Structure 1
Amino acid sequence: MPEGHSVHRIARQFRLHFVGKRVSASSPQGRFAAGAAELDGHVMTDARAVGKQMFLEFDHERWLRVHLGMYGAWDFAGDITADATVLAANGRMGQTNQKGTPEQSGTPGELGTPGQPVTVDAAGEDSLHSIGAPRVARLRMAEQEKLGPGADTFPPEPIGAVRVRLLTHDTVADLRGPTACEVLGAEEVQAVIARLGPDPLVDPGKRSEDRFVEVVRKKPTPIGLLLMDQSVVSGIGNVYRAELLFRAHLNPHTPGRDVPEETVRALWRDWSKLLKLGVQHGQMMTMDRLGAKQKAAALAHREDRHWVYHRAGLPCRVCGTPIAVEMAAGRKLYWCPKDQA
């Protein structure tokens, strides 16, 4: 399932290429024909993400709410341009694809300072490997962000079961397989957002941190489940859950009310940092204190950029204890029985 960084990146693509433009909306699949008709011909005025949900506003006070769920994805085609914000932070991206698996070392702590060119992920997770001058391209954005074949004509024919197609004069976005896709009014949107926990990129202030701390510290629920509860905190999925808990040296079974306040606050601040880095890199980069070659390998290969996620049975990068795996909230939870005892 796409985690918060992916949805924020998708919303940013809409702000770059759709906001301020008149949009033709259709449902090639037919399942969203009535909703598409409500939006067709209107100007998109805003695009925002809250956790794993995205909201696209149109000029007649109607919003398209999308939750990608496990299988949803947006494909973009047309004049896909560089994101100036990301370029400013990272320089020119996507020019190399460095291979190799250097030895990993270090302990959980501060991630490296942003500013180095981002290496293309070998599995295509970083959507920004397609950026550069405006060009005709196909770009998939979800948890696995992959560049597809170039389109010879515009707009390209829909491929597969496209629930919604949003088309401007130079860019098209196709949505497939979402869990939720509906047209809402402003009050309905606010009601949805009100049910969600705080998102550090939406409200980075102390009020959000205090809200997160207050909720967690009242709950008898294990912290490993609370972090996946979107009413407690928005955007954290299976990867970030495992990595945040390891970075905090926190046993996932500890009841929220038993976690020290300073640890809960540190969790929130670490989530804020990792989320910003995820949006910046297009990857869930959670390793720390890596040299240049190690960082390049981590950005190029998913298995080299996480402390515990997807490492069941492999030695902990810090203590060597085999990483444990169990089911929690319907998803696999990875953790170190020693460092998170």
Structure 2
Amino acid sequence: MPEGHSVHRITRQFAANFVGRAVSVSSPQGRFASDAALIDGQVMTDAHAVGKQMFLEFANGLWLRVHLGMYGAWDFAGDIQWDATLASANGRMGQTNQRGTVLPAVSPGGSDEDAPILDSAGENSLHSIGAPRRTRVRMAESEKAQSPSETWPPEPVGQVRARLLTDEVCADLRGPTACEVIDAARVAEVIDRLGPDPADGDTPDDEQRFVSTVRRKPTVIALLLMDQTVVSGIGNVYRAEMLYRARLNPHTPGRQLTEETARGLWRDWVHLLRLGIETGQMMTMDDLDADAYRAAMANRADRHWVYKREGLPCRTCGTHIVLEELGGRKLYWCPRCQA
């Protein structure tokens, strides 16, 4: 399931390519046809994300709400303008996994090895921006390029629930858990049920809300971090990595956490989410030298402490990483470092 950083990245591409433009909305599959008619031809006025939920506002006051769930993905095609806010501080796009659309990335400190960092799983094969300009890019948990389209607009591929189309850019949605047109009151209801999201405004009130909620709950912290009413956007990868980084036993009840520990979790989520949005990668290892950083960006196995490392020695203590099932999801942790 796409975690919060992916949804924010997708939303920013809608802001860059659709907001301020009239949008044709259709449902090639047919399942979204009646809702699509409500916003077809309207100007998109806002693109907003909270956690794993995305909201696209139209000039008639209606909103398209999308939750990708386990299998959803957006395909973007056309003359895509990539959001400049995703660029790193040195002016280059970060180590993203949008093949065919971004500038080469560099390791920390701007070393002289400015060649692209290619992900071994094919998630991060980079070429110069605009090569090709008319491209097709899938955005979900892994952002991968498809073949450039020979026609415009491109023919729908597979079961496309919703198609959003301007003169220059096409966005196809397939496989979402939720795809509906709702009014502003309903948007407010959905957001009110969600926990705070640092990328939606990291305020002292957000931090305090998280800390207070966690510290009054008897539920174990590994489940609380995945509860979208407690905090928005955290999924299985970030959950495992945050708990390891805090050296926190995943079975600790929330109400047993010290205030300092709970605040530390929130602040680490602020840090990791920002990195994920900027780079497109769930990089959770800090203080790597240039060579280690490039290796980590090229291979997921080198950029996480515990996630998907069951049976392998802990990078810190050598104890084998444990895999268990908790709440229907896989949990990875070190029984020594997190004892």
- TM-score, length-scaled by structure 2: 0.92
Q: Which moved more, 1:81-90 or 1:156-165?
A: 81-90
How many Å apart are 1:126 and its aligned residue?
4.7
Alpha carbons 1:240, 1:284 under 8 Å: kept: yes
Letter in 2 for 1:87: A
For the pair 1:233 / 2:210, whether they are aligned, the reply is no
Deviations 1:74-95 (A, max 9, x none): 0000011233222353544556
Give the whole-Å Cα distance in 2 for the aligned partners of 1:237 and 1:114. 30
Match of 1:174 in 2: 172
How many Å apart are 1:340 and its aligned residue?
0.2
Give the whole-Å Cα distance in 1 for the aligned partners of 2:181 and 2:44. 13
SS of match in other structure, 1:326: strand
Give the whole-Å Cα distance in 2 for the aligned partners of 1:92 and 1:272. 22
Alpha carbons 1:124, 1:145 under 8 Å: kept: no
For the pair 1:132 / 2:135, whether they are aligned, the reply is no
Match of 2:68 in 1: 68
- 5+ unaligned residues in a row in structure 1: which ranges? 99-111
Match of 1:161 in 2: 159
Give the whole-Å Cα distance in 2 for the aligned partners of 1:277 and 1:97. 14
Alpha carbons 1:97, 1:300 under 8 Å: kept: no
How many Å apart are 1:304 and its aligned residue?
0.8
Give the whole-Å Cα distance in 1 for the aligned partners of 2:228 and 2:138. 25
Deviations 1:297-317 (A, max 9, x none): 111111110000000000000
Pairing partner for 1:211 from 209, 212, 224: 209
Give the whole-Å Cα distance in 2 for the aligned partners of 1:224 and 1:130. 39
Q: Which moved more, 1:148-157 or 1:330-339?
A: 148-157
Q: What is the count of residue pairs matched by the alignment? A: 327
Match of 2:15 in 1: 15
Q: Percent identity?
A: 65
Q: Which moved more, 1:328-337 or 1:85-94?
A: 85-94
Give the alignment of 1:94-173 within 5 angstroms.
119-126=117-124, 129=126, 132-133=129-130, 135-173=133-171
For the pair 1:187 / 2:180, whether they are aligned, the reply is no
Alignment RMSD (CA, Å): 1.9
Give the whole-Å Cα distance in 1 for the aligned partners of 2:110 and 2:274. 13
Deviations 1:30-81 (A, max 9, x none): 0000011111000000001100000000000000000000000000000112
Match of 1:24 in 2: 24
Give the whole-Å Cα distance in 1 for the aligned partners of 2:135 and 2:295. 26
Letter in 2 for 1:195: R
Q: Call closer, same or farther: CA 1:310–1:54 in 2, change over 3 Å.
A: same
- TM-score, length-scaled by structure 1: 0.92
How many Å apart are 1:322 and its aligned residue?
0.1
For the pair 1:42 / 2:42, whether they are aligned, the reply is yes
Letter in 2 for 1:339: C
SS of match in other structure, 2:222: helix
How many Å apart are 1:2 and its aligned residue?
0.1
Alpha carbons 1:136, 1:150 under 8 Å: kept: yes
Give the whole-Å Cα distance in 1 for the aligned partners of 2:296 and 2:3. 19
Q: Call closer, same or farther: CA 1:11–1:115 in 2, change over 3 Å.
A: farther
Give the whole-Å Cα distance in 2 for the aligned partners of 1:157 and 1:302. 33
Deviations 1:317-336 (A, max 9, x none): 00000000101121100000
Alpha carbons 1:81, 1:132 under 8 Å: kept: no
Give the whole-Å Cα distance in 2 for the aligned partners of 1:29 and 1:5. 28
